[in-house]
Structure 1
Amino acid sequence: MEPRPKSFYLLAAVFALFLAFLYGPTITIAILSFQGPEGGLTFPMRGVSTYWFQDLFRQQAVGDIWGAFRRSFALGLMVMVATVVIALMGGLAFRKRFAGSGALFYLIITALVIPSILVSLGVGLIFSQSGLSVHWATSGFGSQLTWTLPFGLLIMFAIFNRFNPAYEEAARDQGATAWQTIRHVVVPMIAPSLFGVALFGFTLSYDEFARTLLTAGSYNTLPLEIYGMTTNVTTPVIFALGTLTTIFSFLVIGVFMGALWISARRRARLGSDAGKGV
């Protein structure tokens, strides 16, 4: 076995430093969240317990943590569904050139480079000046779509650029309508990508701060609530909240990965059955 070159160890060290920089703050918060009842926001730790996690489920003197969590979860689901549906429709539409398609594409992508706080300000002003309620489920929903939709559309553009139209032609030759072709051929084949778009839509919405800051109205989402807590909470309960939200994020990723695995198994089984003539 040949010895590894020195460059390998150098690159490994750089990668290890990158991981430490990426996950170090999260790990530090997780450790500090297990302080005892007399613990503070910094090291050294004063005892080890789950006191601050239990404190999250008691009546809080400030804030509305669980209400904010429910709002963020509901908003994330709304944004996820809208992103998947619109991105799929946009991806199908852009498979063929149409008048203004180039300008529309660049207009969509421009939403990614506009400062998020300006988008939040603009959407909030439009709603307030139009006499509409500035609320997390209306203006907040709209402002977050300006962030998630471009990512979803870019994924769909990449997928359909590699999609073989011969499958659709074969389905139409068998008498399938356009809707049946999309439902039974196109969507099942690009299902993994749709799961990816859904995950993007939910996670980007769930932790979005700037585009929700001026569009959430009187009720905070979870990122806004956590930001508000940093100004008036001086106990490790905020670290416990951060740890739980991080665990929740990993659970969401696990659910999507599990759904993707089940979908892949189902597709493989259907393909095997079709090959056997079942």
Structure 2
Amino acid sequence: MLSETRGWGFWLLAAFFVLFVLFLYGPLSTIVLLSFQGENGGLTFPMNGFSFTWFGRLFETQAVGDFGGSFRRSLSLGVMVMAVTVLVSLLAGLAFRRRFRASTPLFYLAVASLIVPSILISLGIGLLFQVIGIRPAWYSSAFGAHLTWTLPFGLLIMLAVFNRFNTAYEEAARDLGASPWQTFRFVVLPLILPSLIGVALFGFTLSYDEFARTMMTAGTFNTLPLEIYAMTTNVTTPVLYALGTVTTGLSFLVIFTALAVVLVLQRRRARLGSDAGKGTL
């Protein structure tokens, strides 16, 4: 059996990848380290002791800023955006499986918000709400602004999924007497469920840390990204770093949970396919 020899190109790309990871996560690692400063620690190195003091103070009343309230608002907004993104992206993906009048202009109109500067969208939606007499708020105007960011990604993902979808499964279900709803529920939905989880992950993470499209649309109460930005000039303790560490950990938790669910679904599908194959022998 021949062994593959790794040339200089492989090691050059490996070194580039390592540098990229260090560049990507290097600043984040400093935030994580400084969040474990001792009680008398400051905002810079060297660290003065090691403790979990600043994580405990996250749940206390702060002299400036509203950690708890902004976190709850961002979490609620992210869940709202995630649910609507999954539903609308799924329905749009199903609709675009067949060509209809004005489908092409509608598609380009749906994805146009990806190329428009985010701050302009935020400003436009904020002004629109003021013109029609509705006070901008994180659950209304910011909610709509976030959807202009997440829906195009969800639509593109579902179009790619249905473009590769094998219609033979649906035809087989119809031949066996399944109704259109039964075909969708028991055949199509289980096959595209991992992709829907990916759309949900996109929707939540893009909304949870969105700043530019929230700046002019959040109204009186800040979301977490806006609160963190506002507090960078006021907070003089590592409690801000502790907040960054907690929110980053939550983001990674959501990502790894979604990946775990997708892996379980794929293994379950493979096992069911193997059992079905054995049953036909």
Note whether the superposition's TM-score is higher than 0.5.
yes
Question: CA–CA distance in 2 between the matches of 1:119 and 1:3?
Answer: 52
Secondary structure of the structure 1 residue equivalent to 2:114? coil
Residue of structure 2 equivalent to 1:252: 254
Q: Kindly state the Cα deviation for residue 97 of structure 1 after the two structures are TM-superposed.
A: 1.0
Measure, in 1, the Cα distance between the counterparts of 2:275 and 2:220. Answer: 55
Note the C-alpha offset of 1:107: 0.8
CA distance in 1, matches of 2:95, 2:262: 25
Letter matched to residue 12 of structure 2: L
Which shows bigger deviation, 56-65 or 8-17? 8-17
Greater Cα offset, 8-17 or 209-218: 8-17
Please state how far the C-alpha of 1:204 moved relative to its aligned partner.
0.5
Report whether the alignment pairs 1:186 with 2:188: yes
User: What is the match of residue 90 of structure 1?
Assistant: 92
The separation in 2 between residues aligned to 1:187 and 1:7, in whole angstroms, is 43
Tell me which amino acid in the other structure corresponds to 1:104. Answer: L
In structure 2, relative to structure 1, the CA distance for the partners of 1:90 and 1:3 (3 Å cut) is closer
Counterpart pick for 1:30 among 15, 29, 32: 32
**Structure-1 residue corresponding to 2:220:** 218
Written as runs of structure 1 = structure 2, the 5 A alignment for 1:155-170 is 155-170=157-172
Q: CA deviation at 1:62?
A: 1.3
Cα offset for 1:192?
A: 0.8
Q: Provide the aligned C-alpha RMSD in A.
A: 1.7
Q: CA deviation at 1:10?
A: 2.3
Q: State how far apart, in whole Å, the 2-side matches of 1:222 and 1:25 are.
A: 19
Tell me which amino acid in the other structure corresponds to 2:68: W
| Cα offset, 1:221, TM superposition | 0.9
Tell me, what secondary structure is at the counterpart of 1:232? coil
Q: How does 1:1-278 map to 2 (within 5 A)?
A: 4-275=6-277, 277=279
Deviation at 1:9, TM superposition (A): 2.5
Segments of 5+ residues of structure 2 without an aligned counterpart are: none
Aligned residue identity for 1:271: G
**TM-score, normalized by length of structure 2?**
0.94
Identity of aligned residues (%): 65
CA distance in 2, matches of 1:70, 1:192: 27
Shift of 1:189: 0.6
The AA in structure 1 aligned to 2:210 is E
Unaligned runs of 5+ in 1: none
Letter matched to residue 24 of structure 2? L
User: What is the rounded CA distance, in whole Å, between the counterparts of 2:57 and 2:196 in structure 1?
Assistant: 39
Q: Following the alignment from structure 1 to structure 2, what is the Cα–Cα distance between the partners of residues 3 and 103?
A: 51
Relative to 1, partners in 2 of residues 1:258 and 1:5: Cα closer, same or farther, differing over 3 Å? Answer: closer
Taking the aligned partners of 2:104 and 2:216, their CA distance within structure 1 comes to 31
Change (3 A) 1:42 1:165: same
Distance 1:25 1:211 in 2: 24
Task: Tell me, in whole angstroms, the C-alpha distance in 2 between the residues paired with 1:7 and 1:150.
Answer: 37
Paired letter, 1:225? E
